[in-house]
Amino acid sequence: MNVLIVGQGAREHTLAWKVSQSKLLTKLYCAPGSSAISKFAECADIDIKKFDLVAKFCKKNRIETVIVGPEAPLADGIADFLSTHGIKVFGPSKFAARLESSKTFAKHFMTRRGIPTAAFNVLTELKTAQDEIKKMPLPIVLKADGLASGKGVAICQTHSEAEKTVKEYMDSKIFGSAGTTIVAEEFLKGREVSVMAVCDGKNYLLLPASRDHKPLLDGNLGPNTGGMGAYSNPKDLTPEIMQTIKTEIFDKVIKGLQEENIPYCGIIYAGLMLTEKGPKVVEFNCRLGDPETQVILPLIRSDFLEIVNRCLNRQLKNFELDIADGECVCVVLASENYPQKPVTGKVITGIDAVQATDGIEVFHAGTKKEGDKWITAGGRVLGVTAFAVDAETARHKAYKAVSKISFDGMQFRRDIATDLQKV
């Protein structure tokens, strides 16, 4: 089959790498893609915000399946638009994608379905919001209701800090319209994990779990980012906890989607906090995580395109996932001054030598090729991913590979997979 991947970052690079291995694949395309993705797919310079152009490309190239990587096209309705043109899309509708694109929608859905999550208030007006947060216990978690590239979350230690944050979101609009409505939550104490599943609307299949590291600096200090690294299968996620996650979260999500007549085909991502009272949902996403994808897909031996195809044809039931023995660790290399105003255009050295190392894959988040040189072209630049028999060995391999890569201003965390996250 002919397949189009929508997106251009490290998640889409990983998807292209994985899908290119499928026996079901005839030809792989990616829009807009990147220099790195072009190794596995033919890249098309298309504005993915213009769905009519995407549909025209699909028809011209006889695309049978579209896999959507990032959240924004899903929130804008790309699955709905392409479906009306007879093109199958692995990704939920605009309405279903509100599980991610609207924190308010997600919180109300969880409340209706009895899914464990933090207590919350929805704030829609500046003066009322500032009055409400004065009554809340500290610390206070403030979340922009809409999409903010993983950065629209603030943990406020004082009421004055919370008031300032509310003003930045609602008045200064640092996240645009995404922050005009705010979800204010109780602070959940525990350890975060990411659990993702592929879903065909009636059935789901859990993928290997992971833990990512959002803050920029070691010890979980500094500003939040899109993710500075990840590792697979955290050891504190016991079989007992996984069973609770299955019955109390994913089973209820699927049942809720069915009973509320919300068709769903694609990824359901649950960002969870392991609290003393059990796992609670921090957020839902409607696509693969980044950098979690980089430590999950390398573990899947099953044909990923077959999994996608089964979801599209409502045939996921009874499918058994083949998972490799071993673990993955991914260390993200970021540009100077990320996540504020990244400095780009720097020459990167060492990628090709590292990529030739057994058990190492370098996934490109923000690069471009100029002649025979790789150049930085984004905030997060590379995800150096290592596979090994266990997490500690994978971590050692990943950092050994990182030591061979260099560009001016390069920054990265040195504690990925050491479980130094604050509890």
Provide the CATH topology of domain 125-180. Dna Ligase; domain 1 (3.30.1490)
Q: Can you give the pLDDT at residue 420?
A: 41
Query: Amino acid identity of 367?
Result: T
Q: Average pLDDT, stretch 254-283? A: 97
pLDDT in tens, 181-240: 999 999 999 999 999 999 999 999 999 999 999 999 999 999 889 899 999 999 999 999
Beta bridge partners of 387: 328
Three-class SS state of 216:
strand
Answer for the pair 6, 46: CB distance below 8 angstroms, yes or no: no
3-state helix, strand, coil in the chain (%, to 5): 30, 30, 40
- What architecture is the 2-93 domain classified under in CATH? 3-Layer(aba) Sandwich (3.40)
Give the mean model confidence (pLDDT) for residues 397-404: 97
What is the CATH architecture of 327-402?
Alpha-Beta Complex (3.90)
Q: What is the average per-residue pLDDT within 344-357? A: 95
pLDDT tens by residue, 24-69? 999 999 999 999 999 999 999 999 999 999 999 999 999 999 999 9
Q: Which two tokens stand for residue 77?
A: 């309705």
**122-135 tens-digit pLDDT:** 999 998 888 889 88
Average pLDDT rounded to a whole number, residues 99-114: 97
| DSSP 8-state secondary structure symbol assigned to residue 259 | H
Report the pLDDT value the prediction gives residue 151, as an integer from 0 to 100: 75
Cα–Cα distance for residue pair 191/389, rounded to 1 Å: 24
Kindly state the average pLDDT of the residues 15-23: 98
Q: What is the pLDDT of residues 135-170, one digit of tens each?
A: 899 999 999 999 987 778 899 999 999 999 999 999
Burial of residue 105, with CB atoms counted within 10 A of its CB: 0-12 exposed, 13-18 middle, 19 or more buried? middle
Residue 246 confidence (pLDDT): 98
Question: What is the per-residue pLDDT across 363-392, written as a single tens digit (0 to 9) for each?
Answer: 999 999 999 999 999 999 999 999 999 999
Which residues lie below 8 Å from residue 263, measured CB to CB, with a gap of 6+?
Answer: 92, 93, 96, 201, 257
Q: Taking CA 417 as the corner, what is the angle to CA 401 and CA 278, rounded to the nearest 5 degrees?
A: 155
pLDDT class for 422, splitting at 50, 70, 90? very low
pLDDT of residue 315: 95
Phi and psi at residue 207, in whole multiples of 5°? -90, 165
pLDDT beyond 60 at 80: yes
Q: In the chain, where are the structural domains located? A: 2-93, 125-180, 191-312, 327-402
Domain 191-312 of CATH type 3.30.470.20 = yes
